[in-house]
Amino acid sequence: MKRIDNLQWDEKGLLPAVVQDADTGEVLTLAYVSRESLLKTRDLGETVFYSRSRKQLWHKGESSGHFQKVVGVALDCDGDAVVIRVRPEGPACHTGARSCFFEGVEGFRQIGGSSFGEVIGDLEHLIASRKELLPEGSYTTKLFERGAKRILQKVGEEAVETMIAGVSGDRAEMIRETSDLLYHLLVALREMNISLGEVAAELSARRRP
């Protein structure tokens, strides 16, 4: 474990910082940190960057309210870049997008939102939005309006259907039923105000070396 002063700062006293969602693994943004901003990040428990354009410290969320609660920091093998794992309180991008990485590049496959962590994280946020806004005509809205008992009944039904699909050996059906089960589990968690972060923390605590 290296001291902050011993990191491989560039000629301007900066390091690139990859900001990653601690629960889903999604890369949210690339920013830069100075010694001072990294120390403030440590002390506040929220991301503080160095703005190269404004030449000053930048506390993420100070004006937007979209703070990033820091879970941990990892240093790369050369000591010249860091990954900051966070739990974001709102979008990371100034455009309002969850991640700054949403534009494709011609000639390459678009990768944003394609990993399991990104998809499940986006689904969690969508379900949370449905519970807050209760848009008319939404199946998720109907589940929340029917209450916890009906939601948990659906979880049980989907679990049985997933088991049947697995026993039958039908891969396509197993994928469909697993997707249904995961969706209804996320709705149940939101109904009980349990985040994926809390589930991740429990799984992490159970992990053995």
User: Does 132 share its domain with 202?
Assistant: yes
- Predicted confidence (pLDDT) per residue in 145-172, tens digit: 999 999 999 999 999 999 999 999 999 9
For residue 201, the domain's CATH number is 1.10.287.1080
The whole-number average pLDDT for the span 46-65 is: 94
The parent domain of residue 191 ranges over 116-206
* Percent of the chain clearing pLDDT 70 (strictly above): 96
Once rounded to an integer, what is the mean pLDDT over residues 35-44?
96
Q: Is 12 a member of any domain?
A: yes
DSSP assignment string, 115-150: SHHHHHHHHHHHHHHHHHH--TT-HHHHHHHH-HHH
Tell whether 61 and 143 lie within a shared domain: no
Domain count for the chain, please give it. Answer: 2
* 109 in a structural domain: no
Grouping H, G, I as helix, E, B as strand and the rest as coil, residue 70 is strand
User: What phi and psi values does residue 47 have, to the nearest 5 degrees?
Assistant: -70, 135
In a domain, 94, yes or no: no
Is 125 a domain residue?
A: yes
Do 123 and 84 reside in the same domain of the chain?
A: no
In whole angstroms, what is the distance from residue 85 CA to residue 74 CA?
8
191 and 120 fall within a common domain: yes
Reference 144, options 191, 182, 181; nearest CA is: 191
Indicate whether 20 belongs to any domain: yes
